[in-house]
Amino acid sequence: MLRIGIICYPTFGGSGVVATELGIALAKQGHLVHFISYEQPVRLNIFTENIYYHEVSFTNYPLFKYPPYEIALTSKIVDIVKAHNLTVLHVHYAIPHAAAAVMAKHILKSEGIDIKIVTTLHGTDITLVGKDGSYEPVVSYSINQSDVVTTVSKSLKEDTFKYFNVENDTKVVPNFIDFDRFNRLPKDHFKKAIAPAGEKIIVHTSNFRKVKRVADVVEIFSRIQEKIPAKLLMIGDGPDRIKIENDCREFDFCDKVTFLGKQEAIEEILSVADLFLIPSETESFGLAALEAMACEVPVISTNTGGLPEVNIDGLTGYTSDVGDVEKMAADALKILDDDALPKFKKQAKEQALKFRLSEILPQYLELYQD
């Protein structure tokens, strides 16, 4: 039995979701898992055997312009390691989690406690935030002071060595899907309500930030709906949502676009979809695409980052250069052809099965045990 501390962001982002699902799977195998974060992770049910949640709290003193979360997190890690005899810390996302874990490791070492750190890099902590000059020295140090470093794709591993002075060995352990949850569900009544005339249903989900290029989703759909009857479901929320909604109102196909906001049971929506669009500027892995494929939904994506490792061009969908909405729309129409669609759906599911939890969990367990 392992005693593992998992430090992650509690939000809907990919790193938090993967960390939570990993912890739940470990607990089911009898390992003791302690989550440490400023809020309870959104997918975490703490009324589960072997799972514990510890909230990081900090006080707003007038002296501080910004609350010192990293120091509060470090102190909480030290406290939980000592109180529960943890042997491994698995930190997800370099900033600030890896730095806080390394600081906690040094504090604990001074007290005769040797805690091991597994740091998993998820993407923007390396490709966007981390390579900022004001963070780079700390990120490099935290990576090199970790006992094990993993990345979620080969592409992200290459970026890590490109942007940072990495001396540590880095292993690729991809993200995974829980197929107990992500399967195509019988939702014909739901599909008829959305597309009563048998329109093809297109889905996009993201945090509506600039890097997701949500405007490209609308451009692609504009071209699709000119050729075939179609509906677009937009899932998620973020800073670009209001602008995109306003843009949609200027088009004559506005009534074909529905903004659903944040959704917990995304698998139910994916179960009625015919195509998933993810035209991001960059994706370290593409977890949203994998979730769609697990629900038998083919994907139109860009060819950047880890996306081509998930969405295989010509097999599970198509990949294109960033911003090439004309090609993406043309490829979408190829997939949505009634003769081609069943084949793409079948191939998407087969590819997704390579990333099932039962394939990935043993890789993490081996790292912990080593």
Is position 115 within any domain? yes
Domain boundary among 127, 150, 173: 173
Q: Side chain identity at 13, as an amino acid letter?
A: G
Q: Are 234 and 340 in contact (CB under 8 A)?
A: no
Per-residue pLDDT at 132: 66
Domain annotation covers residue 360? no
* Residue 178 domain flag: no
228-256 per-residue burial string, b: 16 or more CB within 10 A, e: under 16: eebbbbbbbbeebbeebeebbeeeebeeb
Q: Of 185-199, 266-280, 300-314, 348-362, which range is least confident?
A: 185-199
**236 SS3 class:** strand
Answer yes or no: do 316 and 195 share one domain: yes
Between residues 71 and 61, the one the model is more confident about: 71
Q: What is the pLDDT of residue 272?
A: 94
pTM: 0.85
- Model pLDDT, residue 262: 86
One domain for residues 128 and 22: yes
CA distance 131 to 137: 9
Residue 147: predicted pLDDT:
94
Same domain assignment for residues 163 and 225: no
* Residue positions counted in the chain: 370
- Determine the Cα–Cα distance for residues 218 and 339; give it in Å rounded to an integer: 25
In order, the DSSP letters of 63-120 are T-SS--HHHHHHHHHHHHHHHHT--EEEEESIIIIIHHHHHHHHHHHTTT---EEEEE
Residue 152's domain comprises: 3-173
Q: Are residues 322 and 196 in the same domain?
A: yes
Domain boundary, last residue among 173, 202, 226: 173
Q: For position 217, which CATH number holds?
A: 3.40.50.2000
Mean local confidence (pLDDT), 79-94: 95
pLDDT digits (tens, 9 = 90+) for 109-150: 999 999 999 999 988 777 766 566 778 888 889 999 999 999
Residues 6+ apart with CB under 8 A from 115: 81, 86, 87, 88, 89, 104, 105, 108
Helix (H) or strand (E) run with residue 161 in it: helix 154-163
pLDDT band per the 50, 70, 90 thresholds, residue 44: confident
* Sheet of strand 299-302: strand arrangement: 257-261, 230-236, 200-206, 275-278, 299-302, 317-320
**Domain total for the chain?**
2
In a shared domain, residues 157 and 8 = yes
- Out of 150, 173, 196, a domain closes at 173
Looking at the DSSP assignment, which residues form a beta bridge with residue 121? 151
Q: Over the stretch 292-309, which tens digit does the pLDDT of each residue have?
A: 999 999 999 999 999 999
pLDDT band with cut points at 50, 70 and 90 for residue 83:
very high
Element (H, E) at 20: helix 14-28
- Of 241, 299, 290, give the one whose Cα is nearest residue 267: 290
Instruction: Please determine, for residue 180, whether its predicted confidence score (pLDDT) is greater than 70.
Output: yes
* Cβ 314 vs Cβ 320: under 8 Å: no
